[in-house]
Structure 1
């Protein structure tokens, strides 16, 4: 359950959609030591998803051109 709470905190921080009151309430109840690890993990996952989508689009575009 804590991992889901940390995930929600990190993703909302990435996209900037947090209200100050909920931000302060969440930080009062979490383990702050795990937060950087979750943030790095989620950043790597988002980066891998973006890389995969770009690779997929570039590969399909190159096969359409007959290269």
Structure 2
């Protein structure tokens, strides 16, 4: 359950909009030593997902044009 809480904290921080009360409630029960690793893993997953989508779209458009 703590891992899901940390994932939620990191995703909300990526989005950038959060109420102060919810922010303080989440940080009251989180392990700060693991939070940077969760943030880096999620950033890598999101970046890899975007990169994969771009590769799929670029490959699809390249075959449509006949190159």
Which bracket does the TM-score occupy, shorter chain normalised? over 0.9
Q: Structure 1-normalised TM-score?
A: 0.96
The CA distance in 1 between the partners of 2:23 and 2:12, in whole Å, is: 9
Unaligned residue ranges in structure 2 (runs of 5+): none
Q: Structure 2-normalised TM-score?
A: 0.96
Equivalence for 2:14: 14
The CA distance in 2 between the partners of 1:12 and 1:26, in whole Å, is: 11
- Count of aligned pairs between the two proteins: 67
Equivalence for 1:51: 51
Runs of 4+ in 1 over 4 A off after TM superposition: none
Unaligned residue ranges in structure 1 (runs of 5+): none
